[in-house]
Structure 1
Amino acid sequence: MRVPLIVLGGLLAAFLLLPSVLLLATSWTGGQFLTFPPRGFSPQWYLALLSDSTWTGAFWLSVGVAGAATVIATVLGTAAALAVARMRTGGRLLRTLFVAPVAVPVIAYALGLHNLVQRVPVLADSLIPLILGEAVLAFPLVFVVVNASVARLDPALRPAAATMGARWPTIVRRVELPLLTGAIAAGALFAFNAAFDEVVLSVYLVPVGQYTLPLQMLDASREAISPQLTAASTVVSVLALVILGGAGLLRRRAT
């Protein structure tokens, strides 16, 4: 029974990794067209990305939007996890509500936000709706990670600090937050990765004339799948792996 499971796992892993391997190989081609096997070996398409203001501008716009959304999601997610831990009743219901954005179809959520923005003209040419929308989608990731770490804290810490005369803001700031630093950082990395890679919200909420990196990649794929696009996809994939790997290490250390 063990051997078939290992074989099946290997086949599934190969099926999942093969597209990424092909993507990586074609991004280093020395030719001008997307072919496999690639013709020669050259970093020309990565250099073309770095010298193209369209791609670099989209990258930094994505970093800025995802960074702002991550800050909002991290602050609210951490506060929500600490608040739920102090509730004697209703905590289970709130946990369900806080995780609910994960279950909502992104396309339905994006359409709802788009309609809302159209009714508020001052937001039509602003990145604020996109930032807030991505923050809502990233919020459950922070909440789940921090909430799990809060549940592992010694329940005697808060009463002990209270008997020493500390009020709840002091308990949060000097007792709980230092113990939750690793979990908060891990949740923030998960949130940043989710916000950075979000394309559906970008389609509906990015102001005219501006492009996030996922939206720029989507737009480029409509014209032609070129080696430059595969190079951009490889950069995004590597960045996601680094972020998720760092988040996993931080979470393990926090545990």
Structure 2
Amino acid sequence: VLNVWVPNAVDKSLALGDPLESKQVGDTKYRLFHVEGTFKADLEFRRFPFDVQHLPIVLQNRTLPDSSVVYVLDAAVRAQTQAERLESAGDSTSTIDSIPNWRVDQALFTAETVGTTANMGDPSADAAGGLYYSQFVTDLQVRRDVGGFLVKNLLPLGLLVMATYVSLFLGYDAVTSRVSMAITGILSSAVMLNSVTSVLPAISYTVAIEWLYYLFILICVALLVIDLVGSSWAAKGRKRRLRWLTIGSRIAYPVVVVAAAITYWAVFG
């Protein structure tokens, strides 16, 4: 019964070892083990930095199927609140929530099964149902400190948004400066985006934070188009069209930025 292993441990030889304490209370045998190691988990970053990650620790018997071993959560643990579950075993006055820039939301304990449709020649296995093993899973749910992350990484982008908006108040006789500010915004945001996403592993999909930078780059491209069209109309003396373009762009810019921020927060926040 004690021949268990941890399927998601980096060290596949990780085992229970010798018990720290062993005793029998009535018909109940009690053994206390301390297991320490590094564990693997599949992480999903599509909502980065609003992502919520699950860090499981899985215990499974090496040899006995679920017909012989069933894991059950202790009634006392089941009755605990999340605050009690997150208390440190070494110091009850502190919590296990000590990961920089992350916070642990909850600790979940579940009994599961895993197996194969083949019975592997085991005569005790159901010939039709295959061979399954019981698992006991401890799942820690963690999420980022979004507030601190956004202030640190999006404040520079916000300043760029304001700087490029100022370019709309320059005359078209200063079109070189207007174009320069838009191009600078594109290049600066590209560098900032690379810095923000450098903490992520090699992934092939777009994460939430990237959409903000892509939108800003698109706005800068729109500013370039406005600058070129406005410069052309100014050279041709089309003052009426130029006036409407100037007023429209100054109104549309903040409207687009605010609408994008609200939509982004509604989708990812």
Give TM-score, length-normalised by structure 1.
0.27
Q: Which has the higher helix share?
A: 1
Q: Which has the higher strand share?
A: 2
Give TM-score, length-normalised by structure 2.
0.26
Larger Rg belongs to = 2
